[in-house]
Copies of this chain bind each other. A is one copy, B any other.
């Protein structure tokens, strides 16, 4: 079954660094407000209701596949969704706001590691629907927030630019911080394993705020919690993707996480990222989402540059280096998906025939 999927899915093959007929492509936040069909549904229901209504969450997950023919779908949900069951009260206004931010060991000790079947049955139901409805060519990626990123929200209480309170807590209360990171890791392990059991074909851990840390602090606090998750999920038998956002200087550590694929933002060329990451992991990325605002000529040039930097070695999944902006023209996304498929088919053919150099 797994090998059948891999043949039918360039995305799953690329995750395993197997040869592919074209470079697979999907886009972070591909289900979202830049799409008129998404906005139509959001005109009827608010964001939270959407994430908690399986039929609707499945529908918006499928929308970009239907329109653009991406090579993977990603579950429509929010990284804070599985955190509520730990005993944290979260409101959306419109970003997540934690009612009582975590600021003491006592608060950390009071948190529980919930059973996802009880705390987020609607997510697992959504995954089940998608597992049935998605074509084999666009397998479902389940996901969760990485422990440090969730830690940032829980301690800070809301999104900010610097997460100063969260980072202050990390340095002032290292033991309480470690316990919180462990509990978050254990909650995400159960959450992701349940998604895989419900039909997700790959699992991705988003470490959106990893880039706030120095390499030393990352190695001390954030990385052990990532490795804990990856180690536990190794037996799930689906590819694991880890995205340390803005983590150019963290890749040397991140490559040891146990993930099959490392996501890379646009701040480092994929050629350099691959040098650091070595041959044993695939890479995912890394076009700047702002490039989608360039002229077609320039956008085409940028897409080809990313493909060239990734090189002909198997194990590249094309993506943006961060979520798509909501003011993006959907036609630019269509152009991107087609261009990745066309250029990479030609390049892979050329490379097979030995007609081109490394492409870097």
Let me know if B327 and A164 touch, CB within 8 A. Answer: yes
Let me know if A294 and B172 touch, CB within 8 A. Answer: yes
Let me know if B215 and A267 touch, CB within 8 A. Answer: yes
Let me know if A168 and B290 touch, CB within 8 A. Answer: yes
Query: Would you give the 0/1 interface string for A286-323, flagging 1 where the beta carbon is closer than 8 Å to chain B?
Result: 00111101110010000001000000000000000110
Let me know if B325 and A267 touch, CB within 8 A. Answer: no
Let me know if A290 and B167 touch, CB within 8 A. Answer: yes
- Residue from B246, B293, B305 in contact with A168 in the complex, judged by beta carbons closer than 8 Å: B293
Tell me the complex Cα distance, A290–B164, Å.
7
Let me know if A266 and B214 touch, CB within 8 A. Answer: yes
Query: Would you give the 0/1 interface string for A137-161, flagging 1 where the beta carbon is closer than 8 Å to chain B?
Result: 0000000000000000000000101
Q: Which residue of B lies closest to A172 (CB)?
A: B293
Question: Within 8 Å of chain B (Cβ to Cβ): is A281?
Answer: no
A95 CB to nearest B CB, Å: 11
Tell me which residues across on chain B come within 8 A of A294, comparing CB atoms: 171-172
Question: Within 8 Å of chain B (Cβ to Cβ): is A249?
Answer: yes
Tell me which residues across on chain B come within 8 A of A174, comparing CB atoms: 298
Query: Would you give the 0/1 interface string for A168-186, flagging 1 where the beta carbon is closer than 8 Å to chain B?
Result: 1111101000000000000
- Of A214, A294, A295, most buried by chain B (CB within 10 Å of CB) is A214
Question: Within 8 Å of chain B (Cβ to Cβ): is A269?
Answer: yes
Question: Within 8 Å of chain B (Cβ to Cβ): is A217?
Answer: yes
What are 22 A-B contacts defined by CB distance under 8 Å? A162-B325, A167-B288, A167-B290, A167-B293, A168-B293, A168-B327, A171-B288, A171-B294, A174-B298, A211-B246, A211-B267, A213-B288, A214-B266, A214-B267, A214-B288, A214-B321, A215-B268, A217-B288, A248-B248, A248-B249, A249-B249, A249-B272
Residues of A participating in the B interface, judged by any CB pair closer than 8 Å:
159, 161-162, 164-165, 167-172, 174, 211, 213-217, 246, 248-249, 266-269, 272, 288-291, 293-295, 298, 305, 321-322, 325, 327
